Amino acid sequence: MTQPVTLSTAGSIAVIEINNPPVNALSQAVRQGLLDAVVQADADAAVTAIVILGAGRSFPAGADIKEFGQPMQDPHLPDVIDRIESCSKPVVAALHGTALGGGFEIALGSHYRIAVPSARVGLPEIHLGLIPGAGGTQRLPRLCGAAMALDIMFKGTPISAQDALAAGLIDRLAEGDLRQAALIYAAELQTPRRSREATSGLADKAAFEAALTDAEETARSRMRGQMAPLKIVQCLRACITQPFADGRLFERDCFFECLASEQSKGMIHAFFAQRASAKVPEASRAEPRPLNRLGVVGGGTMGAGITVAALNSGLPVTMIERDHDSLARGRANVEQVYDRLIAKGRMSEAQKSDIMARYQGSTQFADLSEADMVIEAVFERLDVKRAVFEQLDKVLKPDAVLASNTSYIDIDEISSVTNRRKHVLGLHFFSPANIMKLLEIVVPQSAADDVVATGFALAKILGKIPVRAGNSPGFIGNRILGKYGDCAAHMMEDGATPYEIDAAIVEFGYPMGLHAMYDLAGLDIGWDNRKAAQGKRNPVERYVEIADRICERGWFGQKTGRGFYLYPDGARIGAPDPEILALIEAERAKKSITARRFTAEEIMARYLAAMVNEACEVLREGVALKPSDIDVTFVHGYGFPRYRGGPMKFADSYGLARMLDDIRRYGQHDPIFWQASPLLVELVASGQTFNDLNKG
């Protein structure tokens, strides 16, 4: 077995190399190896300086997240870094790839830092519900001040080597070979320089305090409900008010407090769930097909969003529209995205031109003959989509992948008009498609393995988070949404106002409530679906007509100025509408329902139980492969708070037996809606959790 850390010498310079693929995470073996190597090099009289670097693709990308949740083993990373910092000889960290979290903290504890221009550094712990816990909150502000340190820790996104150089966080960019450049640099250095003794970042006390006040405000508003941001602020306060050693101890306590929290467990679950969702059986059996040119049919909101996502990732796109006017509108929809960025100063005209050079528009399907994959993104109606597929079938090259962007329609029904069913899959993008990360990859039974693999390859190219879904109505997300949407409608009819329901949802951690979301998406979409389903509905199932009454008035949400909420003068945040409350009251009266009060707790218990119960059915039918895929879907597509991990992770911590009890209790009043999923019953009987199912 290769050693995770090796020590060698180049002349009088000791070189410590960390080799723990894939990202050199700082496991116990790495920490021990690093400590031993540093102690040995420091004691060696022949060594004049030390270089630390990472083998393979990166400097360490942080602590080994897989070790979290298990008892911490010695040596602790903060102690290893303290030992590096107290070396009597200059220590140079040589950075490439992504020096993140504990990896960047090693660099900050080293005396000097050199990086290749493509390196990125950062402290992303906040995305795991954690704070930097190996001295990052104490060393970074001493070097660059509170404002920048807070920005790095709050955003959690890495910064470029150039930006780090400009901020004094690294000392030199390495031209050419990093190891060689680091050796040359180390040979020039005479004395250690310790970040713990740096004062430049603390000099302007007023600016430091002001940055803390701003960050605290952000933590309490925009990052409401999360523990780590406030802890980061407290640690930075300790940084300016206490000696380094005390600040470090305070940071350690805060780190362990965060690590023990449900929030951190939820976010760590979300981290691994996201990586697991990209691993599907088809992609392990087959290689993806080449993807050099994309076709998009339709230049409306979805088609333009998909086009932008593809252009941004470097793919040339041919957009097809039915006539020249529609094509001009499609192109304008694409350009508008870039023009907004230009107006905000976030893109130059030259960058836009470079991107638009990859765009081609046409009114002829024949112009797709070279495309490797074509995504149909036309109006959400079966006959319209079928007509497009018929055309595509005639012109595409034989091995082109054909995808339908649909949120609901049966892919088999669309592809049945072609002679290439095994080349067809569904791609459910979320709006705005150039922003939203989730991509449901809908796999009909006829799809060939390499077609599915190509869908996942496309997701990677576009920077999307893919989830495999079976071809069943509403796939994973919208099917489950339908169920908890119904549950919310029942509560509304029984006495809760849409505003109380939304407030409970926001309090739980969602960015917006369900009814505000309906208003944003447009109430007419659901109304059209309900009208189309008329006659097919099971008459014994409870049907709430409130949304229909709202739509009958032409109130379709934000775009019409009112929906569940009022949006006077184009307001984007809605105000409660007394007329809606009266309308709901009238509907209750028709059914002789006497309104009762719902607490926020009951609202959420019912809402989540409906969500999880339907999710069990989705799992049982194989529409989702594993519970964590449902978590990924809801965190990245439906606003479920990431710090709770997702609905299935939440259900595990709530207790499946408790949730089943709730469902059975609700079922006493509405046994048709509240039928416990056999999967949930089975899990409770066998004492298993969703996490057990994730492990397989």
Site string for ligand 3H9, 337-376 (x = CB under 6 A): ----------------------------------------
**Of residues 78 and 295, the one with the C-beta less far from ligand 3H9:** 78
Binding span for ligand 3H9 by CB under 6 A among 64-72, 193-201, 599-607, 631-639: 64-72
The residue annotated as part of the active site, out of 125, 440, 614, 617, is 125
**Of residues 125 and 617, the one with the C-beta less far from ligand 3H9:** 125
User: Percentage helix, strand, coil, to 5, in the chain?
Assistant: 55, 10, 35
236-255: contacts with ligand 3H9 (CB under 6 A): none
Reading the block at residue 154, the tokens are 């709050």
**Of residues 60 and 513, the one with the C-beta less far from ligand 3H9:** 60
- Among 450, 440, 542, residue whose Cα is nearest residue 491: 542
Question: Running DSSP on this structure, what letter comes out for residue 448?
Answer: -
| Chosen residue from 7, 87, 100, 211 binding ligand 3H9 by CB under 6 A | 100
Binding span for ligand 3H9 by CB under 6 A among 122-130, 332-340, 470-478, 519-527: 122-130
Place of tokens 């350690």: 252
Q: What's the rounded Cα separation, in Å, for the pair 637 and 627?
A: 15
Does 519 sit near ligand 3H9 (CB under 6 A)? no
Does 93 sit near ligand 3H9 (CB under 6 A)? no
600-620 and 647-654 helices cross at what angle (nearest 10)?
110
Beta-carbon contacts of residue 284 (< 8 Å; ≥ 6 apart):
none
| Chosen residue from 62, 303, 455, 645 binding ligand 3H9 by CB under 6 A | 62
> Known catalytic residue: 585?
no
| Chosen residue from 50, 61, 258, 283 binding ligand 3H9 by CB under 6 A | 61
- Among 467, 562, 569, 583, residue whose Cα is nearest residue 516: 562
Place of tokens 């039918």: 621
Q: How far is the CB of 198 from ligand 3H9 (least distance, A)?
A: 19
**Of residues 22 and 176, the one with the C-beta less far from ligand 3H9:** 22
> Known catalytic residue: 105?
yes
Residues contacting ligand 3H9: total by CB under 6 A: 24
Q: By three-state DSSP, how is residue 95 classified? A: strand
| Chosen residue from 64, 216, 631, 662 binding ligand 3H9 by CB under 6 A | 64
**Looking at 586-666, which runs of residues are DSSP E strands?**
none
Q: What's the rounded Cα separation, in Å, for the pair 653 and 612?
A: 13
Amino acid at 493: E
Q: By three-state DSSP, how is residue 376 classified? A: strand
Give 616's Cβ-side CA count (13 Å radius).
24
Q: How far is the CB of 233 from ligand 3H9 (least distance, A)?
A: 16
102-121: contacts with ligand 3H9 (CB under 6 A): 102, 105
Under a CB-based contact definition with an 8 Å cutoff, are residues 648 and 298 in contact?
A: no
Q: How far is the CB of 63 from ligand 3H9 (least distance, A)?
A: 4
Q: By three-state DSSP, how is residue 605 classified? A: helix
Question: Running DSSP on this structure, what letter comes out for residue 292?
Answer: S
Q: What's the rounded Cα separation, in Å, for the pair 182 and 110?
A: 13
Q: How far is the CB of 182 from ligand 3H9 (least distance, A)?
A: 21
The residue annotated as part of the active site, out of 105, 321, 500, 614, is 105
Q: How far is the CB of 532 from ligand 3H9 (least distance, A)?
A: 41
138: buried, middle or exposed (CB in 10 Å: 19+, 13-18, 0-12)? buried
| Chosen residue from 10, 65, 291, 693 binding ligand 3H9 by CB under 6 A | 65
Q: How far is the CB of 438 from ligand 3H9 (least distance, A)?
A: 17
Pairing of strands 575-576, 565-566: antiparallel
Q: By three-state DSSP, how is residue 26 classified? A: strand
274-333: contacts with ligand 3H9 (CB under 6 A): 275
| Chosen residue from 38, 92, 116, 134 binding ligand 3H9 by CB under 6 A | 134
Give 627's Cβ-side CA count (13 Å radius).
25
Beta-carbon contacts of residue 338 (< 8 Å; ≥ 6 apart):
308, 347, 351, 352, 355, 356
Q: How far is the CB of 303 from ligand 3H9 (least distance, A)?
A: 28
Does 25 sit near ligand 3H9 (CB under 6 A)? yes
Does 54 sit near ligand 3H9 (CB under 6 A)? no
Does 4 sit near ligand 3H9 (CB under 6 A)? no
Does 414 sit near ligand 3H9 (CB under 6 A)? no
Reading the block at residue 242, the tokens are 């206490």
Q: What's the rounded Cα separation, in Å, for the pair 266 and 113?
A: 34
| Chosen residue from 53, 63, 489, 550 binding ligand 3H9 by CB under 6 A | 63
**Catalytic positions, written as ranges:** 105, 125
Which spans of this chain sit near ligand 3H9 (rule: CB under 6 A)? 22-23, 25, 61-66, 77, 98, 100-102, 105, 124-125, 128, 130, 132-134, 136, 275
